[in-house]
Amino acid sequence: CSLWQYDRDNNSIHLLAYNGLTQDIIESIPSNLDTENLIGWSVRNNTMFSIKMLQKYQNLKALDNGNSIITVPITIDNQVWGALNIEKIPFIKYNLYTEQLLLMIADLAAPIIRNAIRYSSLVHKEVDPITGFNSISEFYEVLKEEYVNAVHNKLNLSLLIVECVNSADIVEKFSMRDALFILKEIAKLVQQLAKGKVLIFQYKETFQFAAILPNMDFDGTAMFSLSLIEQNSKKAYYIKGQTVNPEIVIGYSSLRPNHKSEDDLILLADNLLLMQKI
């Protein structure tokens, strides 16, 4: 299979990644294709292509180069990003059941690819030189994208806001850089507990960060927060060989049917964070 990205400005598609293809197939596919091919046709029309369609549509048959069995467009935020193309299958015969199985695989792969694309795009953004957090402006942008995606696809979505409340003491005893290093270590703990399925950003205050948790419901987020507090209290933190005990408070919220925008998630999490600090 191969993954193709749509270059809207140049009206072309580019080979971004591939897996399991032989060298002859790779060489037979140009690295830069215009839209006059089956993958381009699928992207341009935001329509799935299946090899059985060649028997019915002569215009598609003219575009066939023998390297597309199924092509599934990938959409992000209601725009076509590119396509997943399947060139070879481990079946002797191609029939309705084969196609249904391939479509199931493609349907399972599409959301994973969407998330990978979102995560990889953040790597190229400006980050804090000490914590490595993406900026708060990126947070608002990504949360809005995740909110729209969750509502559209009826998925769960949660937001976590974490603050190290004794950072001032750490700064006084050590330095600002050391205190931010501890905050970074707490964020790593969040990533470990979420098994990487989390997006972390700088939040409103210096010693706060926000974590977006796709596909996590309210109960799961509540349990996650308790686990984070427990693991943080058990974890050994050190600065220049000295033990440090960071104290954290957490505000969290999850997508609900009555929410009108991503701002509702932020408001609920902020309010809960404030209550924890009183």
The fold of the 128-277 domain, in CATH, is Alpha-Beta Plaits (3.30.70)
Per the listing, tokens 């080979």 go with: 15
Whether the per-residue pLDDT at 228 is higher than 90: the answer is yes
The pLDDT of residue 268 is above 90: yes
Q: How many whole angstroms separate alpha carbon 41 and alpha carbon 68?
A: 12
Q: CB neighbours of 50 closer than 8 A, spacing ≥ 6? A: 69, 70, 99
pLDDT tens profile 125-150: 667 889 989 899 989 989 998 998 89
CATH among 3.40.50.720, 3.40.1190.20, 3.30.450.40, 3.40.50.2000 for 2-121: 3.30.450.40
CA-based angle 112:113:115, to the nearest 5? 65
Q: Which of 48, 44, 111 is nearest to 85 (CA)?
A: 48
- Which residues are CB-contacts of 21 (< 8 A; sequence separation ≥ 6)? 1, 2, 87, 88
**19-28, 109-118, 267-276: range with lowest mean pLDDT:** 109-118
Of the listed ranges 20-34, 187-201, 216-230, 231-245, the least confidently predicted one is 20-34
Residues of the chain with CATH 3.30.450.40: 2-121
With the C-alpha atoms ordered 76, 65, 12, 35, is the resulting torsion angle positive or negative? negative
- Of 185 and 277, which is predicted with more confidence? 185
Q: Where in the chain is the domain with CATH 3.30.70.270?
A: 128-277
Model confidence over 88-114: pLDDT tens digits? Answer: 776 666 667 777 777 777 667 666 676
Alpha carbon distance 36, 146 (integer Å): 33
Q: Which residues of 164-183 are buried (b: 16+ CB within 10 A; e: fewer)?
A: beebeebbeebeeebbbbbb
Whether the model pTM is above 0.75: no
